[in-house]
């Protein structure tokens, strides 16, 4: 009985460790990196599928604006530029489990 308890505890610890090490979404590029309201922008990277990346936002550091995702795979997200004022915006991803918002190292310039 004692061995069974240790085995269950070890399995629970392994499951927690695997959950903690789950791959986080990461953006590496935008195409185009300058766009207008209504344009479709492609974000390339890793772990961008629906099981990792739940929602995508444009942020100017003060306000986050949610974008509509039109296509989503592990290596790419396409989104429509929302009604937003011209300027430079970073991308942020809310993980699918809602646990983290991850600022991405890519910048989108919105023109009039």
pLDDT at residue number 23: 85
Domains delineated in the chain: 25-111 (2.60.40.10)
- Strand order across the 26-31 sheet: 26-31, 40-46, 76-80, 68-72
**For residue 16, is pLDDT > 80?**
no
pTM value is: 0.78
DSSP code for 2: H
Alpha-carbon 3 to chain mean position: 41
pLDDT at residue number 55: 96
Tokens of residue 19, six digits: 């959950």
- Segment among 10-14, 54-58, 79-83 with least mean pLDDT: 10-14
pLDDT at residue number 17: 47
- Mean pLDDT for 6-31 is 68
Q: How many CB atoms lie within 10 A of CB 66?
A: 13
């Amino acid at each position: 009985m004692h061995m069974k308890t240790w085995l269950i505890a070890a399995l629970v610890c392994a499951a927690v460790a695997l959950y903690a090490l789950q791959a986080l979404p990461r953006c590496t590029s935008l195409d185009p990196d300058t766009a207008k309201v209504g344009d479709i922008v492609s974000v390339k990277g890793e772990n961008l599928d629906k099981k990792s990346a739940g929602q995508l936002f444009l942020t100017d550091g003060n306000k986050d604006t949610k974008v509509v995702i039109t296509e989503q795979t592990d290596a790419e997200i396409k989104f429509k530029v929302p009604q937003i004022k011209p300027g430079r915006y970073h991308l942020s991803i809310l993980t699918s489990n809602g646990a983290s918002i991850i600022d991405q190292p890519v910048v989108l310039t919105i023109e009039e």
